[in-house]
């Protein structure tokens, strides 16, 4: 049986809003934390380039469900599949878009899945 990573570890849609707000606030704080006194580019032209350091939370304790219960996935959704020994896991791209890194253990083997 293939197990599918779920988004239950982040509380679903509500948590995604919190993550977005945190990223925006963090970006603002990072931008204002640098000393720009000697910047070649005018300060008003410097824009945030994305989330701040550690602004994209890794999944450290992944939660999985049997593939038959993964009703949040469409048949054409892409996943990263990993098989170690006889154990298989699927990491949906739609979840990895929010996290980019999953630390996991499959059949006693420590792995990292990144996107």
Q: Domain ranges for the chain, please list them.
A: 2-114
**Residue-wise pLDDT tens digits, 13-32:** 455 556 566 666 566 555 55
Tell me the average pLDDT across 81-103: 92
Tell me the average pLDDT across 37-66: 83
For residue 54, is pLDDT > 80?
no
Long-range contacts of 69-73 (CB under 8 A, 24+ apart): 69/4, 70/4, 70/6, 72/6, 72/7, 73/4
For residue 64, is pLDDT > 80?
yes
The pair of three-digit structure tokens given for residue 3, joined into one six-digit string: 């197990």
For residue 3, is pLDDT > 70?
no
For residue 90, is pLDDT > 80?
yes
What integer pLDDT is reported at residue 46 of this predicted model?
76
For residue 89, is pLDDT > 70?
yes
What integer pLDDT is reported at residue 31 of this predicted model?
55
């Amino acid at each position: 049986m293939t197990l599918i990573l779920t988004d239950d570890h982040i509380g679903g849609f509500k948590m995604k809003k919190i993550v977005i707000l945190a990223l925006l606030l963090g970006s603002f704080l990072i931008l204002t934390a640098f000393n720009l006194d000697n910047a070649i580019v005018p300060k008003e032209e410097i824009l945030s380039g994305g989330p701040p350091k550690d602004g994209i939370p890794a999944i450290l304790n992944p939660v999985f469900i049997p593939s038959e219960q993964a009703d949040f996935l469409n048949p054409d959704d892409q996943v990263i599949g990993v098989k170690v020994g006889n154990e298989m896991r699927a990491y949906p791209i739609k979840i990895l878009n929010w996290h980019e890194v999953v630390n996991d253990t499959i059949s006693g083997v420590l792995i990292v899945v990144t996107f």
